[in-house]
Amino acid sequence: MDKKYQVVWAKVAGDDLTNIIEYIAGDSTLNALKILKKIKEKASNLYHSPKRGRVIPELGDFGIFQYRELIMPPWRIIYRIAEEKVFVLSILDSRQNIEDILLKRFLNL
Protein backbone atom coordinates (compact mmCIF):
# COMPACT_ATOMS: atom_id res chain seq x y z
CA MET A 1 0.00 0.00 0.00
CA ASP A 2 1.32 3.45 -0.93
CA LYS A 3 2.05 5.90 1.85
CA LYS A 4 -0.22 8.96 1.87
CA TYR A 5 0.91 12.36 3.07
CA GLN A 6 -1.16 15.25 4.35
CA VAL A 7 -0.58 18.43 2.30
CA VAL A 8 -0.48 21.53 4.51
CA TRP A 9 -0.24 25.09 3.20
CA ALA A 10 1.88 27.60 5.14
CA LYS A 11 0.38 31.06 5.50
CA VAL A 12 3.12 32.62 3.38
CA ALA A 13 2.38 30.16 0.55
CA GLY A 14 -1.30 31.06 0.74
CA ASP A 15 -0.36 34.74 0.64
CA ASP A 16 1.91 34.11 -2.36
CA LEU A 17 -0.92 32.36 -4.18
CA THR A 18 -3.40 35.12 -3.34
CA ASN A 19 -1.01 37.77 -4.66
CA ILE A 20 -0.42 35.84 -7.88
CA ILE A 21 -4.13 35.31 -8.50
CA GLU A 22 -5.06 38.91 -7.69
CA TYR A 23 -2.39 40.15 -10.08
CA ILE A 24 -3.59 37.90 -12.91
CA ALA A 25 -7.23 38.74 -12.19
CA GLY A 26 -6.41 42.36 -12.96
CA ASP A 27 -6.19 41.28 -16.60
CA SER A 28 -8.46 38.23 -16.68
CA THR A 29 -10.58 36.74 -13.92
CA LEU A 30 -11.14 33.59 -15.96
CA ASN A 31 -7.40 33.08 -16.50
CA ALA A 32 -6.76 33.73 -12.79
CA LEU A 33 -9.26 31.02 -11.83
CA LYS A 34 -7.69 28.53 -14.26
CA ILE A 35 -4.22 29.17 -12.84
CA LEU A 36 -5.50 28.95 -9.26
CA LYS A 37 -7.00 25.55 -10.03
CA LYS A 38 -3.80 24.28 -11.71
CA ILE A 39 -1.52 25.39 -8.87
CA LYS A 40 -3.82 23.97 -6.18
CA GLU A 41 -4.13 20.64 -8.03
CA LYS A 42 -0.38 20.34 -8.58
CA ALA A 43 0.32 21.00 -4.89
CA SER A 44 -2.51 18.74 -3.71
CA ASN A 45 -1.13 15.85 -5.74
CA LEU A 46 1.95 15.82 -3.51
CA TYR A 47 -0.01 13.64 -1.08
CA HIS A 48 0.98 10.46 -2.93
CA SER A 49 4.51 11.10 -4.24
CA PRO A 50 6.13 14.15 -2.65
CA LYS A 51 9.69 13.14 -3.57
CA ARG A 52 8.99 13.62 -7.27
CA GLY A 53 9.94 17.29 -7.01
CA ARG A 54 13.58 18.25 -7.34
CA VAL A 55 15.81 19.67 -4.64
CA ILE A 56 15.93 23.45 -5.08
CA PRO A 57 19.21 24.11 -6.92
CA GLU A 58 19.78 27.56 -5.40
CA LEU A 59 19.60 26.11 -1.88
CA GLY A 60 21.48 22.93 -2.76
CA ASP A 61 24.44 25.13 -3.63
CA PHE A 62 24.48 26.10 0.07
CA GLY A 63 24.18 22.50 1.28
CA ILE A 64 20.46 22.82 2.02
CA PHE A 65 18.67 19.77 0.65
CA GLN A 66 15.40 19.46 2.61
CA TYR A 67 13.42 21.83 0.36
CA ARG A 68 11.96 20.61 -2.91
CA GLU A 69 10.00 22.18 -5.72
CA LEU A 70 7.56 21.48 -8.48
CA ILE A 71 7.81 23.60 -11.58
CA MET A 72 4.67 25.02 -13.16
CA PRO A 73 6.07 27.71 -15.45
CA PRO A 74 6.58 30.46 -14.55
CA TRP A 75 5.89 29.44 -10.94
CA ARG A 76 7.82 27.25 -8.57
CA ILE A 77 5.91 25.46 -5.81
CA ILE A 78 8.32 25.19 -2.87
CA TYR A 79 7.69 22.53 -0.24
CA ARG A 80 9.24 20.40 2.47
CA ILE A 81 8.46 16.84 3.54
CA ALA A 82 8.31 16.12 7.27
CA GLU A 83 7.16 12.72 8.52
CA GLU A 84 3.62 12.21 7.18
CA LYS A 85 3.14 15.78 5.95
CA VAL A 86 4.10 17.88 2.97
CA PHE A 87 4.32 21.57 3.81
CA VAL A 88 3.75 23.91 0.87
CA LEU A 89 5.96 26.86 1.83
CA SER A 90 5.98 29.29 -1.10
CA ILE A 91 4.74 29.86 -4.61
CA LEU A 92 7.31 31.98 -6.42
CA ASP A 93 7.60 33.48 -9.87
CA SER A 94 10.74 32.03 -11.42
CA ARG A 95 11.40 35.34 -13.19
CA GLN A 96 12.32 36.83 -9.81
CA ASN A 97 15.65 36.39 -8.03
CA ILE A 98 14.69 33.11 -6.37
CA GLU A 99 17.95 32.65 -4.49
CA ASP A 100 17.58 35.93 -2.58
CA ILE A 101 13.90 35.32 -1.81
CA LEU A 102 14.47 31.76 -0.56
CA LEU A 103 17.49 32.59 1.54
CA LYS A 104 15.65 35.48 3.15
CA ARG A 105 12.55 33.41 3.88
CA PHE A 106 14.11 30.11 4.94
CA LEU A 107 17.24 31.33 6.66
CA ASN A 108 15.80 34.54 8.11
CA LEU A 109 18.60 36.63 6.64
Confidence of residue 106 (pLDDT cuts 50, 70, 90): low
Given 3.30.2310.20, 3.60.15.10, 2.160.10.10, 3.40.50.2300, which CATH number is that of 6-107? 3.30.2310.20
pLDDT at 78: 94
Q: Is the pLDDT of residue 93 over 60?
A: yes
pLDDT, tens only, 11-39 = 999 999 999 999 999 999 999 999 999 99
- Write phi, then psi, for 68 (nearest 5 degrees): -125, 170
Residue 97: other Cβ atoms inside 10 A: 10
Query: What pTM, to 2 d.p., does this model score?
Result: 0.86
* Residue-range domain boundaries for the chain: 6-107
Q: In angstroms, what CA-CA distances link 61 with 12, 55, 58, 93, 99?
A: 24, 10, 6, 20, 10
Strands 67-72 and 75-82: antiparallel
Residue 93 is inside which H or E element, if any? strand 85-93
pLDDT band at residue 98 using 50, 70 and 90 as cut-offs: confident
